[in-house]
Structure 1
Amino acid sequence: MSEKQKTHFGYQQVDTEAKAGMVADVFHSVAARYDLMNDLMSGGVHRIWKRFTIELSGVRKGHSVLDIAGGTGDLAAKFSRIVGDDGRVVLADINDSMLKVGRDKLLDTGHQGNIEFVQADAQFLPFPDDSFDCITIAFGLRNVTAKETALRSMLRVLKPGGRLLVLEFSKPENELLSKAYDTYSFRLLPLMGQLVAGDSESYQYLAESIRMHPDQDTLKDMMEDAGFARVEYHNMTGGIVALHKGIKA
């Protein structure tokens, strides 16, 4: 019998087929306090990162947008207003707890009609070819087991000329910033998770998953290998976060 394939779950080596379930457990645990923790962890700066993502998206009235790993719906809410009644926004997440929190939040704030909610795996998107003008994935790609498979799946469902935007934690440009960021991530973040969400282990995993994610140039190469054209990235907050953009030719 062949040996099972391995992948990383944070710093652990786990069976590839087990990773999705382990990531799911993390997000089941943090879903209810996800928005609060985002604000606390980033000092609210995640809203600026997301605003820049929307500015670079080129989304207009009547467009179709897919927000993968859309979680609690920050991007979907903004896209819903931009595309209007003639447009379409699909908030997709593999995790049903996150999807439920996002759906409840958006419906409570009056976002409905042009938003659909779909439980979907980024690696195997359940949409026809050439379906969307824009795809976003914010702080979700690092949790995907096979990132190359997911990127090819995103390319398939984009319309020709459509854009993919990947907003993700990345590698700080400055060594001093990198050391300070490590101290924050591995000491304060799990403590904050314990105090606010009653879960230090999930936030320890999230810190580790950031370190295991490809750096800016590696992710750029991966997007080009998947078939995206004109790939570029923009560092924000000293490279702690990077926004990658690619076009379907």
Structure 2
Amino acid sequence: SNQKVQASISALQKTERFNKVEVKVKPDPAGLQVSFVLEPAFYIGVLQFPGAVKAFTYTRLLQVANLPDENLYDKAQIPKSEAALLKFFEDNGYFRATVQADTQLNEPNQLANITFNVNLGKRARIGQVQIQGPSPQENARLLHSVRSLRAMLTRSSLKTGRPYSPARIQAATRLLKKHLAAEHRLASVVQVMPPQYHPEHNRADLTINVQPGPVVMVRMNGARLSIIPFVSGRREKQLIPIYEEGAIDRDLVNEGQR
């Protein structure tokens, strides 16, 4: 009966020894001949990333591929892992990267060893940078701040030709927020839009949207940090987290009170 067939399929699947169980039914003079076609189960074995470990740690690549060892091997997951690796490489400036997976089945041990052959290509460089949101004059000042000597020394420079990397862009975002905080714009929002990549030059253009927000004045009463005014102001900015973070919210205000 169909109920017994389904019970047999369920029992075979519970053994976890088979990746796929198919039922074939053929007419027979004595009735129906039922056959179970079993596909042996394989488990994720060793993953390798030749061509990528020179730029990224093996652990990070494992996290991106997201194929935990000893999990059941599913060949439908491999294109997803390839796509995840490609996006990870692009996010890190390797827009020309290619990934090709090759699976070797170790039948005696029921393991699927997967090699992701990676060609990173050259890392892209920063192309044109635009800042949008404030006035044209403020846009120019903010753009100058991420192309200044200070930006170069803090590895946050967005000068054309600099290597494209998430760390550089994050550092530049922090620098912009500090620049705005110095103007008492403590509730500013700085958002980097997805890059526009130009394969012919291997450069990525950046657009940064800036919302300066309102002017926020911070005053401290009842405490004298120094008899010298400019030293007192500097010390105040060191002690109050709002200045350090270049942002304002209730948690930072409460931390500053402590």
TM-score (norm 1): 0.21
Structure with more contact order per residue of length (Cα contacts < 8 Å, sep ≥ 6): 1
The answer to which structure has the higher helix fraction is 1
| Structure of higher CA gyration radius | 2
